[in-house]
A = this chain, B = another copy of it.
Amino acid sequence: MKKLINDPADVVAESLRGFAAAHADLVRVNADPAYVVRADAPVSGKVGILSGGGSGHEPMHGGFVGRGMLDVACPGEVFTSPTPDQMLEATKAVDGGAGVLHIVKNYTGDILNFEMAADLAREEGIEVEAVITNDDVAVQDSLYTAGRRGVGVTVLAEKIVGAAAEEGKDLAAVAELCRRVNAEGRTMGMALTSCTVPAAGKPTFELGESEMEIGIGIHGEPGRERVPLASAKEIVERLAGPVIDDLPFASGDRVLAFVNGMGGTPQIELYLVYNELKQLLDGRGITIERNLVGSYITSLEMAGCSITLLRLDDELIRLWDAPVLTAGLRWGA
């Protein structure tokens, strides 16, 4: 295992310590239970926005804590949901009296832990709403399964919902907006290489030199199918096609196009993918109104990418453009 780490057991804690030191102007980091909270939390009268999940997806979620986005993030162990007591403390830390929104990616572990946390918080008199993101079209949706994974749309939802909360919208409105963003967005991802969970010490899966995985999630899990390596153009077709067909996105739609790197993919490739995506969307009459290209929701050092499309309207554009001041996303501030 080739990583810049010390003891695998300490990766999350030591990395958080570095993050805290690097961004002391934006956040405070509580070590135990672990959470990353806005330096000025709780903001009185503002809905608190909490998200969390396993570590290894950086900058998500700690890198999105700050003005205009998250109030607090709960990092779990690598690829492992954080725990209810941790979420409870984080919820308390950002309750400014207007309640707290939990943004939860749809994984059994996350759901179960967040459910427990919300129960505990409500017992302590804090109003909590939970919204589940489940935008991964690689997974068949069904009432009888765990449903779709929450992936790329989570980042976009956190930005947009964070802006709405900053404007003073109330908990119900913010939760409703979050559901709407989730409903309007779809994602699909692929991997060129596996990643290695530090505590496991070896790659989660093995991929041949001329193979790739299509339909992966963000936890180093294998995808829906293993296929021969293809050109960026074909890969974009394989990802964007199902994304477009699922919502479906139609000619005339205005979208935010998000090309996300999985952690080990250099920018030169991500922009090349964006170039292919732009051509494909142009051909379908879909207009890219906003874009995001970079590694924002990652799987450790995995090489690969995901493509997320979010259908926009004027309100979503305005909220996307609103100032954001976090370690991972920053504009207008």
Beta-carbon contacts under 8 Å, A247-302 to B: 263-276, 278, 288, 291, 293, 295, 298, 300-301
> Which one of B16, B266, B272 contacts A56 once the chains associate, using CB atoms below 8 Å?
B266
B232 touches A268 (CB 8 A): no
A273 touches B231 (CB 8 A): no
Q: Determine the chain B residues whose CB is within 8 A of the CB of A233 once the complex forms.
A: 6
Beta-carbon contacts under 8 Å, A111-160 to B: none
Beta-carbon contacts under 8 Å, A25-77 to B: 55-56, 58-59, 63
Q: Chain A interface mostly helix, strand, loop or mixed? A: mixed
CA distance A3 to B37 in the complex (A): 37
A300 touches B268 (CB 8 A): yes
B11 touches A264 (CB 8 A): no
A264 touches B264 (CB 8 A): yes
Residue A17 CB within 8 A of the other chain: yes
B278 touches A21 (CB 8 A): yes
> Which one of B19, B269, B288 contacts A3 once the chains associate, using CB atoms below 8 Å?
B269
CA distance A112 to B273 in the complex (A): 33
Residue A87 CB within 8 A of the other chain: no
Q: Determine the chain B residues whose CB is within 8 A of the CB of A264 once the complex forms.
A: 264-266, 301, 303
Q: A208: nearest residue on chain B (CB-CB)? A: B2
A15 touches B268 (CB 8 A): yes
CA distance A303 to B59 in the complex (A): 17
B298 touches A15 (CB 8 A): no
Could you tell me the distance in whole angstroms from the C-beta of A211 to the nearest C-beta in chain B? Answer: 9
B275 touches A193 (CB 8 A): no
A269 touches B5 (CB 8 A): yes
Proximity bits, A78-91, B CB within 8 Å = 1, else 0? 10000000000000
Q: Determine the chain B residues whose CB is within 8 A of the CB of A274 once the complex forms.
A: 18-19, 21-22
B268 touches A266 (CB 8 A): no
CA distance A209 to B202 in the complex (A): 11
Residue A14 CB within 8 A of the other chain: yes
Could you tell me the distance in whole angstroms from the C-beta of A63 to the nearest C-beta in chain B? Answer: 7
A14 touches B293 (CB 8 A): no
CA distance A14 to B2 in the complex (A): 31
A231 touches B303 (CB 8 A): no
CA distance A265 to B5 in the complex (A): 11
B269 touches A4 (CB 8 A): yes
Q: Determine the chain B residues whose CB is within 8 A of the CB of A12 once the complex forms.
A: 268
22 contacts between A and B (CB under 8 A): A2-B192, A2-B212, A3-B269, A4-B269, A5-B231, A6-B232, A11-B268, A11-B272, A12-B268, A14-B232, A14-B275, A15-B271, A17-B275, A18-B270, A18-B273, A56-B268, A58-B266, A59-B267, A264-B264, A264-B266, A301-B303, A330-B330
